[in-house]
Chain A
Amino acid sequence: MLSLVIFLPVVAALVLIVLPGLSDRLSRWAWVLVTLVDFALLIGMWAAYDVPAAGFLAYEERLEWMPSVGSSYHVGVDGLSLPLLLLTAVIFLACAVYALKERERPRQQAALFLFLQSASLGVFAAQDLIVFFVFFDLSIVGMYFIIAGWGHGNPARSALKFFLYTFLGSLSLLLGFIGLYVGAVPHTFDMVELARHPALQNAPVAAGFVLAAIVIGLAIKTPTFPFHTWLPPAHTDAPAIGSVVLAGVLLKMGTYGFVRIAMPMLPDAWRSWAWLIVIVGIVSVLYGALVALAQTNVKRMIAYTSVNHMGYIVLAVGAAGVVSDSSEQAQQVAITGAVVQMVSHGLVTGALFLLAGVLYDRRESYDLSAFGGLAAPAPRYAAFFAVAAFASLGLPGFSGFIAEFQIFAGSIGTVPWSLLALPGILITAALFLRASQRLLTGKPRGLSVGFSDLKLNEVLSIGALLVMSVIIGLFPRFLLDLIEPAASVVVNLVGR
């Protein structure tokens, strides 16, 4: 079942490739249909999901692959991966719906996105480091072609920069994986085994180097300060739906790696270096917010707020590594918050990038100061943008609050200095309100004049993402019930 979910999109992609005669219209709808089916399958899996015992998985599948190197095709889900699988399916579905009006090579685009969807689902389902790595790299390749092939501005350059930078990160990751493999007794790439019997427990220096390799790899992907400079150009030049997948899904591979790989597999090293992770988190939060405040290009602005939002996650996972006798509740709160933030950021930033895409679609500009008073010609657009802005600044009632409140409460609960990151939510609020004001209020001017309001497919795709953020914001239990058991497993693993 899980493999079907993972590979259905890529099979569909192959079909789209081998049928060059397929009309554009049909390929667009086929894409929507496949993503819808994949989403429905995942919903079904969620409905039938039983919380597995600590250290075990649901929907586990395992096939011999390279037995000599201790690597197998091993996939499975738990409370950390299922939310991200669902998020992936939702994001790609929203992209497919948004792209219903795509004019440029829709068949190839659909195939490429379906391929990328499989790669992304594979990353979150993987329970073997080699499988993880393969899917991880395939996602980079897929995104490279999306930016290079459908981007604007200077797409070749941005795509290359994205590719080189994140590929370098993945190599660092590979180095770390090899370190884990070598350090494990018996040698294995199996993630479940590696979490159960952590490698290098008695070799702090080696464990430190392995952790460094893994953390640098994940930090580039996340990205955290100072490894984030590939992100703004990649977003700016990517097509709208490319940005959505990049921010909504690909960045999560970095943060997911922290809770899935770094924390449980190198608990000693993680605890020793947690202070550094906390600092990186705090700096990313503040730096991302401050640099975003200075941006005039709406896409660059959202890109930097991603650095800020990912910083909260890094802060939380770092703080959760600071273990004391009384810290268990705070640690669990922090990790749960971090996972909710992954989902929340995917939904909300996805919506924001689609909204930015609408600007470019209508006027080929992301320049905030070129617009103004959009609320008059495009009231629906204005309402959606304002709602998305409030969702992104962490207003209660949206998913971001559920995430950020828990991240802050949990992080301050273990590391009081996390207080320093609090101004981040203030600066984010200021920058989003300032951007909304520039873009939407006042008299219509510049590129706003005659701006046509959101179309049905735009309303559906953006609206669905925002509605899901609201549902999580008001009734978070259904998501938290899924995440909390897995978060407490991580707390126990890192506290060993």
Chain B
Amino acid sequence: MSPDVNPSGWGQLLLWLLIGLPAISGVALCVLGRAANRSAAAVSLVTAGLTALTAVAASIARPAVDVPFLTGFTFGLAVDALSALIVPTVAVVTLAVLAFAAAEGTQAPARFHGLMLIFAASVAVTATATTLPTLLFAWEIMGALSYALIGFQWRDEFRVSAGLTAFITTRVGDLGLYAAAGAALAGGTGLTFADLADAPPGWRDVVAAGILLAAFGKAAQLPFSFWLSRAMEGPSPVSALLHSAAMVAMGGYLLLRFAPFLQATGWAATTAAWVGALTALLLGIVAVAQRDLKQLLAASTAAQLGFIVLAAGVGAVAGGTAHLVAHAATKSLLFLAAGAWLTALGTKQLHGLRGVARRWPVVGVAFSAGALSLTGVAPLSLWATKDEVLAGALAASPALYVVGLAATALSAAYAGKALVIVWSRPLPTTRDAYDTEQQGTQHVGLWERIPLLVLATGAVLLGVLALPPLGDQVRLALGAVGEPRPTALELVGSAVLAVVVVGLVAWKRVPEPSWAANWLGLERAVYASIVAPVLWLSEHLARFDDAILDRGIHSVARRAVRGARRLAHFDDAGLDAAVTASARGGVRAGSTAAEVDTYGVDVLVEAVGRTARQLGRAARHPQSGQLHQYYAQITVLLTVALVLLLVVR
């Protein structure tokens, strides 16, 4: 638990409300289902509004709770300086997105808003978790809800399988957290975040590797990025929340939280820095190559998260956090705008969106604010935040800085490409794309525009988090005072670079390399190298199970029957004959004795003889060839053996 949290009673109530409000309303909406469809939007907005207020209050009060949970591990939550920035951001974006969704209207509103609210609760837990089990608890629920939300329109199977891809891919990363927990136990430390640093070197490396894996999966870093492309099959508000401000961002957030821990292991920080930088670069190229607006935005999300992961790797926590917050507002705005146009025109293809900003200027202006922020044009938000990250990269390694700068230029290129298209005059062929993906409504309502404007304000202004004087406060709170700052030259240079690139994009057509258009072929590669072999193995093991293992058991059983038959034969020919003979002998001996001895002995011997004869007859009974009867005999034998053993001892 960080020293800057306040474990008082009222604060704790705030923390429980922050999670409980959305969780309980969300579950209630889901359980009531159709019955709650009418009131769903209202319940959802009230809940999200109260949650946002609670989030702000909690980030001022800085509460912490810690309750018993698993065997020796607690369920710990706390709002510290880092989560004090993240929690309200997510809560406000959630409110804006739900307001937009309520205005636009969705199918099955109770289920939609219910799932979104449960998702918001799980994000709040993720962002405030102080122990590994708490984190993993919320982390996997986020994944499951992303499955349910991406596949929200379950009548379309391709959407459901997109959800499946997202869930399974991110769960590969989640395995890292299970491994981290095991390694922490093996290293003899507890599972609170503060304890993990005490793990002895070997185990600490496993913990670090697990955390990296989990974060890369959720943040759609290489090589996991492809799931985010598939995730675009989900409704636009889902993308606006999950794939900008919340779930994907939580991957970056986790690494920011563990930045000092990663530094302590050395290689983990370097790995994070390079994976982040390369994702920013390569997914930037992917974004440039896209012709579908949501795909462009998705690739851009992975690339922007790359900057945050880079920041965590080079220890630029203040810059990374500011970038995360600014990107959340920017990207959710862009996804909502794309969604508004998709609803209105029935397309998200860029050539169909030509001139769309002219037709709906308010949406267009808001979209442009987000897109310009993404390009890195001064003084919009991502300009300053990204430069702070790059300053950290420069201090760590010039090579990282160069890659990061190239990625910045690519951001300007893809954001500029979208910007230019939406403001261009429509071509005669533009209309052909309308209504190709769904039936357009030709309408964007007032209440859909308001959330866009709120988010646009954030996209414009949130750069202040990285600039003095507020930026200094942020650094102080995060304990990041000593982190490198961008020089004036870097700030001006990057802004100029952004303007130049946007100008170039406006002037000349952007190349769209085909290797980047299909997301580097990552999904196909993963299918061929992992999924297909696993399916092959599974089929063959199933056949092995039926044909070898099970059949083997049967052949053993058959052999046992054959053996039993042979025994039975021996029984008939040998034992039974012997029994009969001995019985006969007994009778004879008995009658001889009777002549000599008293009646009592005679009776006794005759009884023995009779019994023996009966036994002889009975011994022939069980040779029925029926396996279960032989079994019963074995049991009797064993029981007799047991009794004998007990009597003899």
Contacts and interface: CB of A to CB of B under 8 A. Distances in A.
Interface of A: 68-69, 160, 163-165, 167-168, 171, 174-175, 178, 182, 187, 226, 229-230, 287, 290-291, 293-295, 326, 329-330, 332-333, 336-337, 373, 375-376, 379, 383, 390, 395-397, 401-402, 405-406, 408-414, 416, 418-419, 422-423, 425-427, 429-430, 433-434, 437, 440-443, 476-477, 480, 484, 487
A477 B68 contact: yes
A402 B545 contact: no
Given A229-B550, A434-B164, A406 B70 contact: yes
B539 interface: yes
B638 interface: yes
A174 B634 CA distance: 12
Contacts of A164: 557, 627-628, 631
B399 interface: no
Contact of A401 (B140, B156, B184, B649): B140
B500 to A, nearest CB: 46
Given A229-B553, A330-B185, A437-B160, 16 more contacts: A164-B631, A229-B549, A287-B541, A332-B71, A333-B70, A333-B71, A390-B144, A396-B139, A406-B70, A409-B191, A410-B185, A414-B186, A427-B538, A429-B167, A440-B154, A442-B160
Contacts of B206: 416
Interface string B525-543: 0000000001101110110
Contacts of B139: 396
A333 B175 contact: no
Interface of B: 33, 68-72, 133, 136-141, 144, 147, 151, 154-157, 160-161, 164, 167-168, 171-172, 175, 178-179, 181-186, 188, 191, 206, 534-535, 537-539, 541-542, 545, 549-550, 553, 557, 627-628, 631, 634-635, 638, 642, 645-646, 649
B535 A422 contact: no
A442 B549 contact: no
Contacts of A410: 182, 185
14 contacts: A178-B645, A229-B550, A290-B542, A293-B534, A293-B538, A329-B72, A329-B185, A333-B70, A337-B71, A373-B155, A426-B172, A427-B538, A429-B171, A442-B156
Contacts of B191: 409
Contacts of B646: 68-69
A165 B553 CA distance: 9
A422 B172 CA distance: 9
Given A294-B542, A441-B151, A405 B72 contact: no
B182 A418 contact: yes
A163 B628 contact: yes
A477 B67 CA distance: 10
Contacts of A163: 628
**Interface residues of B: mostly helix, strand, loop or mixed?**
helix
A306 to B, nearest CB: 14
Contacts of B72: 329, 332-333
A477 to B, nearest CB: 6
A414 B70 CA distance: 18
Contacts of B69: 476-477
Contacts of A226: 549
Contacts of A484: 71
Given A164-B627, A397-B141, A423 B160 contact: no
A69 B157 CA distance: 65
Name the residue in B70, B140, B171, B535 with the highest tally of chain A Cβ atoms < 10 Å from its Cβ. Answer: B70
A184 B537 CA distance: 47
A416 B138 CA distance: 25
Given A376-B155, A423-B175, A441-B151, A178 B642 contact: yes
Contacts of A441: 151, 154-155, 157, 160
A487 B444 CA distance: 61
B557 A291 contact: no
A441 B147 CA distance: 13
A295 B139 CA distance: 30
Contacts of B631: 164, 167-168
A226 B551 CA distance: 12
Nearest to A422: B175
A408 B164 contact: no
Nearest to A419: B179
Nearest to A329: B72
A490 to B, nearest CB: 13
Contact of B541 (A187, A291, A337, A443): A291
Contact of B178 (A175, A291, A408): A408
B185 A480 contact: no
B155 A442 contact: yes
Contacts of A165: 553
B141 A395 contact: yes
A383 B137 CA distance: 22
A308 to B, nearest CB: 12
A174 B642 contact: yes
A291 B206 CA distance: 30
Contacts of A425: 171, 175, 178
B70 A476 contact: yes
Contacts of A293: 534-535, 538
Contacts of B545: 229, 291
Nearest to B642: A178
Given A171-B635, A290-B537, A405-B181, A395 B186 contact: no
A307 to B, nearest CB: 10
Nearest to B125: A396
A396 B178 contact: no
Nearest to A165: B553
Given A419-B182, A430-B168, A294 B141 contact: no
A291 B645 CA distance: 44
B155 A413 contact: no
Contacts of B154: 375, 440-442
Contacts of A329: 72, 185
Contacts of A230: 553
A164 B557 CA distance: 9
A15 to B, nearest CB: 29
B167 A437 contact: no
B157 A442 contact: yes
Nearest to A427: B534
Contacts of B182: 408-413, 416, 418-419
Contacts of A405: 70, 133, 136, 178, 181
Contacts of A409: 178, 181-182, 184-185, 191
Given A229-B545, A405-B181, A430-B168, A336 B71 contact: yes
Contacts of A291: 538, 541-542, 545
Nearest to A189: B646
Contacts of A422: 175, 178-179
B535 to A, nearest CB: 7
A295 B539 CA distance: 8
A426 B175 contact: yes
Counting chain B CB atoms within 10 Å of each CB, which of A401, A402, A409, A412 scores highest?
A: A409
Most chain B CB within 10 A, of A165, A406, A412, A484, is at A412
Given A408-B181, A477-B69, A426 B147 contact: no
Contacts of B172: 426
A426 B537 CA distance: 15
Which of A287, A291, A437 has most B Cβ within 10 Å?
A291
A367 B195 CA distance: 50
B179 A379 contact: no
A333 B151 CA distance: 36
A158 B171 CA distance: 37
A160 B154 CA distance: 42
Contacts of B638: 171, 174-175
A434 B140 CA distance: 18
